[in-house]
Amino acid sequence: MDAEKSNKPGNSALKQQKLKSWSFKMSKIVLGFFYIFCGSFFLIIGSVIVSESNSVIEHKLRYDNVDACKADWKTRPLCTIKLELDEKMPSPVFVYYEITNMYQNHRRYNKNRDIKQLMGKTQSKNDIDSYCDPVKTMGDLGLIVNNYYLNAKSVANPCGLMAKTFFNDTYTINPITSGIAEVKISFDELAWETDKDEKFKNNDNMHLQWTDVENQHFMVWMSTAGLPTFKKLWGKIKHDLPKGQYAITIQNNYDISDFDGEKAIIVSTTSGLGGKMSFLGILCLIVGGISFLGGSAVVGLGFYLKKIKGISID
């Protein structure tokens, strides 16, 4: 009994859980005004996003369904599609490719790489075995190179599923009736600075690699997309594109038939908030409208009950 008493907490407000407490309690009218304020905020934000999104000029052209552009594992066609601009696109103009029904965020696919190898370190087959299986050798890549440095049994550098499925379609844009001599597409500002400075480095012996890891198209591809339909930056046009017709020549190397996907090229400007994002703006408008109307109803009902009925609304 004495032992039990010796463990008894002291008789203080803290130890006996008798501290004074305070909780914020809003009346129904104050709560209604709070919802009106939140609704007004979302309506303003949504209006700004929709306005900025509408200022973006975007043209999307699907090409995998064009007969001349269809590619498979045996055929890599060179084809041309037309782009019609009904207004000038001010610089900078961004060129994207879009792929549908491809789950880059699948855990096994996303993790299937060797980080040290991508940073320029020479790795053996044992080193990459747990990271890159089932794509560990040049034979696994389907790239059989018989020379002094590489053969089918050589370590794939870079290894893994993500590297093997690297998107390799190419595009050129030529003016037809726009009045300019040529369209220059730049590839020097595609990837994040962190990727260029730290994450992707070529091996000291480039002959051990089957592709250039410091290629910014490769870096962009290796940045995992979160949704099955995604677009990735392919190039930048640093001059205006006048109104008129353009011919887009596509070297269609990338086969999407295995996963029933679709491919498109997107030519787009941006706004102060980025590219087109109408969905986000409309969502903010819907949330703001519901909040504003709901808050107004609560305030109106509160005043009615208080002044007309004499009912407390606390």
Q: How confident is the model at residue 146 (pLDDT cuts 50, 70, 90)?
A: low
Q: H-helix or E-strand containing 194?
A: helix 193-194
Say what the pTM is. 0.81
Task: Identify whether 201 is part of a domain.
Answer: yes
How far is 131 from 191, CA to CA, in rounded Å? 24
Above 70 in pLDDT, residue 8? yes
**In this structure, are residues 101 and 258 in contact, taking their beta carbons and an 8 Å threshold?**
no
Task: Identify whether 246 is part of a domain.
Answer: yes
Closest CA to 117 of 165, 153, 162: 162
How far is 137 from 134, CA to CA, in rounded Å? 9
Above 70 in pLDDT, residue 145? no
Sort 123 into a burial class: Cβ within 10 Å, 0-12 / 13-18 / 19+.
Answer: buried
Three-class secondary structure of residue 11 per DSSP: coil
Task: Identify whether 45 is part of a domain.
Answer: no
How many Cα atoms are found within 13 Å in the side-chain-facing hemisphere of 118? 22
Task: Identify whether 17 is part of a domain.
Answer: no
pLDDT digits (tens, 9 = 90+) for 125-143: 999 998 999 999 988 988 6
Q: How many structural domains are present in the chain?
A: 1
Task: Identify whether 18 is part of a domain.
Answer: no
> What strands lie across the sheet with 244-251, from one edge to the other?
78-85, 244-251, 170-175
Q: Which residue has the higher pLDDT, 232 or 1?
A: 232
**In this structure, are residues 69 and 250 in contact, taking their beta carbons and an 8 Å threshold?**
yes
Task: Identify whether 20 is part of a domain.
Answer: no
**Straight-line distance from the first to the last Cα atom of the chain, in angstroms, rounded to the nearest whole number:** 50
Above 90 in pLDDT, residue 302? no
Task: Identify whether 166 is part of a domain.
Answer: yes
**Res 20: pLDDT:** 81
Task: Identify whether 309 is part of a domain.
Answer: no
Domain that holds residue 174: 51-276
Q: Which residue has the higher pLDDT, 178 or 96?
A: 96
pLDDT digits (tens, 9 = 90+) for 256-277: 988 999 999 999 999 988 888 8
pLDDT digits (tens, 9 = 90+) for 278-298: 899 999 999 999 999 999 998
